[in-house]
């Protein structure tokens, strides 16, 4: 999220954690602390304890996304680090309040997202952040053809 070690993820990923550790793609681990969150939008902001310059991603305007636009979902499903899947935006402003979600403006995509993808990036074909992978609606916690992400514009408000 930023060069100086601020990271955005889902609140439910770190909720009730006694400590937080972040592992980068080069297998280096860092302690992190929760510096902000919004439980209603399921967004948390972490700060990594390091003076290192980190690679970061550009926030795109999620309101400008279009249904049918290609997206990539990045995450760690089933501990498979840095898994990338492709799909399209299937719907916008999806209301999941019937499923106990407080946020009512999800991006729906058909990119394969499974348990462990939560908190990962949903990016456009330019590699810009358009959402945070957040939810699937499945009885067995496996992908069933659609998934949901908090739009980047909602996540940005927590910053």
Token pair of 155, please? 């996540």
Q: Which long-range contacts (CB under 8 A, 24 or more apart) does 31-38 make?
A: 32/5, 32/7, 35/6, 36/158, 36/159, 37/11, 37/158, 38/11, 38/157, 38/158
The active-site residue out of 42, 90, 101, 110 is 42
Choose among 81, 101, 87, 98: nearest CA to 150.
Answer: 101
Rounded to whole angstroms, the Cα distance separating 42 from 119 reads 9
Q: 118 an active-site residue?
A: yes
Q: 90 an active-site residue?
A: no
The active-site residue out of 2, 12, 38, 105 is 12
- Contact predicate 7/24, CB 8 Å: no
The active-site residue out of 62, 90, 101, 118 is 118
Rounded to whole angstroms, the Cα distance separating 6 from 4 reads 6
Token pair of 28, please? 């280096």
Q: 152 an active-site residue?
A: no
Rounded to whole angstroms, the Cα distance separating 73 from 119 reads 10
Q: Which residues are catalytic?
A: 12, 42, 118
């Amino acid at each position: 999220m930023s060069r100086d070690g601020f990271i955005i993820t889902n609140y439910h990923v770190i909720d009730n954690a006694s400590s937080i550790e972040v592992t980068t793609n080069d297998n280096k681990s860092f302690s992190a602390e929760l510096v902000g969150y919004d439980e209603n939008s399921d967004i948390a902001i972490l700060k990594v304890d390091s003076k290192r310059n980190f690679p970061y991603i550009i926030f795109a305007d999620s309101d400008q996304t279009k249904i049918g636009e290609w997206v990539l979902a990045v995450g760690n499903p089933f501990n498979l680090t840095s898994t990338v899947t492709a799909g399209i935006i299937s719907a916008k402003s999806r209301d999941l309040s019937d499923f106990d979600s407080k946020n009512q403006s999800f991006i729906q995509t058909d990119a394969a997202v499974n348990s462990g993808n939560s908190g990962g990036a949903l990016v456009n074909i330019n590699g810009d952040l358009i959402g945070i992978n957040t939810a699937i609606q499945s009885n067995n916690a496996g992908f069933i053809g659609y998934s949901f992400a908090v739009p980047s514009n909602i996540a940005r408000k927590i910053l």
